[in-house]
Chains A and B, each alone.
Chain A
Amino acid sequence: MTDRSEPRETDRRSPPLRLDWGQWGRATLPYVLPPLVALVAVGAVWELYIEISNESKFVLPRASSSFDALFSDPGRYAENGLSTLWVSLAGLALGSGVAFVFAIFMAHSQNLERALLPVAIMVKVTPIVALAPLFVIWFGFGWQPKVAIAALIAYFPVLINAIAGLRDVDPRTLDFLRSLHASPLEVFRLLRAPSALPFLFAALKISATLALIGAVVAEFFSPQQSGLGAIINIEQRNVQLDEVFAAIFVLTLIGVMMNTAIVIVERLTLSWHRTSISVRQ
């Protein structure tokens, strides 16, 4: 009778998320092209510097020779890159999974939070390189200590953000559910967990990078000698710095890919959230 025929922005529902490649390309190019240009510029300055300074390749190799190293044995970098990626993802999943479960209990009980948060902080501030050799002793020579180290470094942002997110609920919506005698499980499922999602995605972006760092540190110490961390370790001792830079480049690529994947899932999941809405407008 009053405003039933005047929705706020458009006269349709928000468009369904469909991939139109042409449109996708036009939309993505402005984001891909500038960093690409910047990267090429950095490479050029790098080459130029070595041209002028005549720096020894045992101190700083040419950017081009690092690419040569990468493409002369792509299989080696792909195989070890996949190993590092797997350790990072497994560590991220384990660390954030355990952190989320703890967060559920800590968000519901102030006493539990007071008891456990100092422990979590103590674990977090312990330098990971000090723990890595111990983990090899405790968890063996395989992938297990590596995943454990990646998890250990990745859990903290998820823990903190999940506690905050699970508590960041609209008090009136909570009143509404309580007025219907909703169980704590129903309140969790219908209100708390969805409310925590924006916080969780923010945490995952930080934790993904941390898990990658954890994986590389673990590979330094692991006797297994696999992963990009192991390549860096070996080639650095051999003073093959072009190989070291090639490994670093692949690591960067993995980090960017993990972050991008999380951002895409976030956009698809949080289409209702004000951050996505403000991006659309």
Chain B
Amino acid sequence: MSFFNIQALAYLDCGPINLQIEASEIIGLNGSSGSGKSRLLRSLADLDEHTGNVSLQSVDQHSTKAHIWRSKVALLSAETYWWLDTVDAHFKNYPIEQAAELGFVSDVSAWQVSRLSSGEKQRLGLLRLLENNPDVLLLDEPTANLDPENAQLFEDFVTNYIYKRSACAIWVSHDVEQLKRISQRQYKMQNGQLVSEVKGN
């Protein structure tokens, strides 16, 4: 049994989708807008209704309480939301060192959230998500609003986390070169199905 196992997953007009992901593995996923990539990630995090089986380390999604499942199978949506006044109010412990690794030169923890750019929100959104120490990361176009330098830092940071924790990830992006860089296997979402793109090396 694989680390993260997706069996006959179907939602709306997509599926059935089967995918086995091993620990320390990153899966790259692209596909045209509206092809159901985000919906796939939402179904895996159990935020949308779906059929089929998803299991993490042989524990079935539906035998775990939904909020506990979501803290282990963590979704970073394309847009993150910040509902409290300051940045650090959204954290249990604001991780200064990790923030520096992601390219934050100044301390943004006391900032008003209205001051954050969308790129800053994406990076801080990742840090906030990682406080739960998730085993599966579902990343929905996480570097879409980042400049190349910060995108590089983001890639390094995520791959590092995945290897160190023996976690796994599904990384959705329109940047095929990026997916080749960071993932072992690439898929394309086409007509509601996963199509294997290139064999891993």
Task: Tell whether A and B belong to one assembly.
Answer: no
